[in-house]
A and B are shown apart, each in its own frame.
Chain A
Amino acid sequence: MERDGLSVEIISPGVLSTVQDLGRYGFQAFGMPVAGALDRYSLMVGNLVVGNDLRSAGLEITISGPELLFRSERLVCITGGDLSPKINDRDVPVWQGLMLHEKDVLSFGGARNRGARSWICIGGGIDTPPVMGSRSTYLRGGLGGHEGRRLERGDILPLGAPDIFSRRGEGFVVPRELRQNYIERPVIRVIPDPREALIAPEGVECFYTSSYRIGPDSDRMGYRLQGPLIRHKESPDMISDAVPWGAIQVPGSGLPIIMMADCQTTGGYPKIAGVISADLGLLSMMLPGDHLSFRRCAVTEAADASRALKGDLERVRVLLADHRSRPGAPSLGIPADNGAMLLKFGGEIFDVTWRII
């Protein structure tokens, strides 16, 4: 059972922790939802820092976060919101390359109003068996991830082999302006949908001028919004058609629903608008009770925003390459258990860690 060593054990699962990658594409025509990390950018940056393929699977954790026992030494990067991560009860920062040693415990103190979700990327990635080309957990369908379900106490997640340069990302800090930050009361950019014609003009006006609150029954399938009712012109039913992630449906109740990664592939409610891809990450940071509003935007603006996000990822790549190639520059590590400091030399040839007692 050599393989048994290359794993992470779930000591406690937190509110909702699942294995996610960039999603399961190619089967929406058969009714299969995409699933995947609610913030693709955060997952990709985390994977980059630990030396993984961008498509590697990480853990998506929600609000309180899990407690994980590492059975293998790995570089870890926690991206997304700040759920107060700790290594062996010592506070550690998010958006940084952190070295976890064998028997280290990664835990979380919970959300401090700095985002509802984080992604834990681990060098080598989580190596659960792919289902239909993806490791993403699709909870309702009970497939993908770890046994198709949320993680539970005692689960053991296998890890892949890390990139040989993975640990050189230790101490790398993603600059604040290149992070997905939590924003209070964000204005989410949307592209109006032609089906807006099924909604009364006052309803459309109301949607763009009101503040909405994320309702308690919101999840990875959809965010149900609370706020002023949006009236339809006539019937709220239409012939079912495709529903992408980010589409905002207005059902008969008049309360909009933002479709998220696990949403049904098709639906029969009028769509008033669609959230632009670059702003989906902002939604992933939000909790029930948080407020948001909407602003119309053109497809060209959406494209610019996506290009900017892609540019941010490239910028992280360049900074990381620079960090990794620093010859022998010692970087002050994190304090060790016994009060000593770990001093690291991350040179091209020497990659040595001394414990100074």
Chain B
Amino acid sequence: MTVLPGSVAANSHCFNNPRKGGSDLEGGTGYPRFSWCGDACLVAEFGDKIDPLINSMVRDLDLRIRGLKLPWLVETVPTYRSLAVYVDPWDSPREEVELAVTSLAREVKAKTMPSVAVVEIPVCYGGDFGPDLERVSMYTALGPDDIIRLHSSKLYRVYMMGFTPGFPYLGGMDPRLETPRLEDPRTLIPAGSVGIAGKQTGIYPIASPGGWNIIGRTPLVLFDPAGASPFLLEAGMEIRFVPVTGERFEEILSGNGA
């Protein structure tokens, strides 16, 4: 079995020094690290923890790859600590893909990227929109006003999107707000619901079942398949929750429909 430069050895599936044609079956500790996930997805990993710097490197590589308009590129999926590069398995020059991704990854700088944009998300907390505010209050021993203040005082980074169309994985919630998921998940949580699950906070873009503690709701539409730009958010943005009254919620909602 000959190993071509820049290729993965036939019996290995992980490599971090492809230029030497070497393979690193045990994974090693060096980053960036590359591996095929199936034959249509090459993954570049930049670390193994949730960290703004690591996530910035993922975004940096994402921008570099997408900027080149490579003919074999189908799409990319940036995640917390890795970038998935999707190619057409029928039509991709595999060695070229590996060489492009590995060499671009080596140009990535370990520095925090500026956010794409800061998006303000109006939220009407509590009441019918936030049936679990009381529960979070019980768990955290904080009053509802303190919860709202803590939740809306931070800038949250959109580390990645996934789970359902338009769902942002957010980082940066105040640890004092940590609350475990509901023991008994709800069968239907309305679109726009803002919730807390463990260390995470998030927004449900479409109505779905779920076990998060729902503390409020936004009138903004996070996912509109018929829209010119179907998604409100993208990886690399930062968001801030802005408390609004029920009246303001309705105003914004009617504006959405206009």
Among residues 236 to 252 in chain A, which have CB atoms less than 8 Å away from a CB atom of chain B?
239-242, 244-247
Task: Please measure, in the bound complex, the distance between the C-alpha atom of A242 and the C-alpha atom of B42, giving whole angstroms.
Answer: 10
Is A266 interfacial (CB-CB < 8 Å)?
Answer: yes
- CB of B11, distance to nearest CB on chain A (Å): 7
On chain A, the residues within 8 Å of B43 by CB distance are 241-242
Contact A299/B165 with A27-B230, A239-B48 known, Cβ cut-off 8 Å: no
- Does A193 contact B13, Cβ atoms closer than 8 Å? yes
Is B179 interfacial (CB-CB < 8 Å)?
Answer: no
On chain A, the residues within 8 Å of B80 by CB distance are 239-241
Contact mask for chain A residues 32-50; partner B; CB cutoff 8 A; 1 contact, 0 none: 1100000000000000000
Is B194 interfacial (CB-CB < 8 Å)?
Answer: no
Q: Count chain B residues whose beta carbon lies closer than 8 angstroms to a beta carbon of A.
A: 51
Task: Please measure, in the bound complex, the distance between the C-alpha atom of A27 and the C-alpha atom of B82, giving whole angstroms.
Answer: 17
Contact A29/B163 with A241-B82, A302-B89 known, Cβ cut-off 8 Å: no
- Does B37 contact A193, Cβ atoms closer than 8 Å? yes
Q: Which of B10, B165, B166, B205 contacts A298 (CB 8 A)?
A: B10
- CB of B35, distance to nearest CB on chain A (Å): 5
Among residues 34 to 74 in chain A, which have CB atoms less than 8 Å away from a CB atom of chain B?
none
Task: Please measure, in the bound complex, the distance between the C-alpha atom of A357 and the C-alpha atom of B164, giving whole angstroms.
Answer: 59
- Does A25 contact B39, Cβ atoms closer than 8 Å? no
On chain B, the residues within 8 Å of A206 by CB distance are none
- Does B164 contact A31, Cβ atoms closer than 8 Å? yes
- CB of A142, distance to nearest CB on chain B (Å): 8
- Does A300 contact B38, Cβ atoms closer than 8 Å? no
User: Chain B: interface secondary structure?
Assistant: loop
Contact A300/B165 with A28-B75, A132-B225 known, Cβ cut-off 8 Å: no
- Does B84 contact A241, Cβ atoms closer than 8 Å? yes
Task: Please measure, in the bound complex, the distance between the C-alpha atom of A267 and the C-alpha atom of B37, giving whole angstroms.
Answer: 13
On chain B, the residues within 8 Å of A7 by CB distance are none
On chain A, the residues within 8 Å of B160 by CB distance are 240, 266
Q: Which of A31, A191, A193, A239 contacts B165 (CB 8 A)?
A: A31
Task: Please measure, in the bound complex, the distance between the C-alpha atom of A25 and the C-alpha atom of B161, giving whole angstroms.
Answer: 15
Closest to B89 in A: A277
Closest to B82 in A: A241
Among residues 1 to 44 in chain B, which have CB atoms less than 8 Å away from a CB atom of chain A?
7-8, 10-11, 13-14, 27, 33, 35-41, 43
- Does B161 contact A274, Cβ atoms closer than 8 Å? no
Contact A266/B162 with A29-B77, A30-B230, A241-B81 known, Cβ cut-off 8 Å: yes
- Does A194 contact B165, Cβ atoms closer than 8 Å? no
Task: Please measure, in the bound complex, the distance between the C-alpha atom of A32 and the C-alpha atom of B163, giving whole angstroms.
Answer: 9
Is B206 interfacial (CB-CB < 8 Å)?
Answer: yes
Contact mask for chain A residues 299-312; partner B; CB cutoff 8 A; 1 contact, 0 none: 11111001101100
The 10 tightest CB contacts between A and B, nearest first, are A274-B38, A266-B162, A242-B84, A302-B39, A277-B89, A298-B10, A194-B14, A241-B79, A242-B77, A244-B41
Q: Which residues of B contact A (CB under 8 A)?
A: 7-8, 10-11, 13-14, 27, 33, 35-41, 43, 48-50, 74-82, 84, 86, 89-91, 94, 160-167, 169, 205-206, 225-226, 230-231, 234-235
